[in-house]
Amino acid sequence: MATTPEKADLRNGRLAARDAIPEEERLEKNLSLTTHGLGAVHVSAHMIVSGFLPIRSEVDLKPLMAALAQEGARLCLPAILDRTTIVFREYRPDAELISMGFGTYGPAAHEPVLDPQIMLVPLAAFDRSGNRIGYGGGYYDRAIHLMRQKGGNPKLIGIAFDCQEVASVPVEPHDIRLDAILTESGYRPFA
């Protein structure tokens, strides 16, 4: 999927702002986000939740994912199959992780593919209406679209730091809106 110049500028600006957060401050913000997430992301036994492992200066979801697993959730992570497709493979703390490219790791091919009921979605930028800018590949939009075609309707929770919010994200027909955003200042559902 091609990205507009405006989206590219917003993406680059918000990623630079995220990268500029000092490491100690990032750890504090991450702890606060995890605490808010524990109060807001409700799971039941065997509910399937997708997360992601951090790349670069992303939020580290491992503490939140571990807590959700203790509450009975089944976890999964994105696995890149090719230049256009991701699936979500089951993730356990002892699971073998392999390089997925882009500096990230995911479960090996022998792990089961799951359809998440809650998706913790990485992003570069978001606005107060629930629109997001990803990293430009369209992987999540395509994966969510395919899940919906199969009858699934995962709850989409964007994961970011407050500094990644922008006034307005340009929306294209293929873009899928978030249901909520989780940052270090709290959990905000979108109307």
Element (H, E) at 182: strand 180-183
Q: Which two tokens stand for residue 46?
A: 């065997």
Q: Which two tokens stand for residue 45?
A: 């036994």
Q: Would you say 118 and 50 are in contact if contact means Cβ atoms under 8 Å apart?
A: yes
Is 187 annotated to bind a ligand? Reply is no
As beta bridge partners, residue 74 has: 48
Is 138 annotated to bind a ligand? Reply is yes
Is 53 annotated to bind a ligand? Reply is yes
Is 136 annotated to bind a ligand? Reply is yes
Is 150 annotated to bind a ligand? Reply is no
Is 115 annotated to bind a ligand? Reply is no
Is 83 annotated to bind a ligand? Reply is no
Is 132 annotated to bind a ligand? Reply is yes
Is 68 annotated to bind a ligand? Reply is no
Instruction: Give the count of beta carbons closer than 10 Å to the beta carbon of residue 19.
Output: 11
Instruction: Name the binding residues.
Output: 7-11, 53, 58, 132-140
Instruction: Name the binding residues for substrate.
Output: 53, 58
Instruction: Name the binding residues for ATP.
Output: 7-11, 132-140
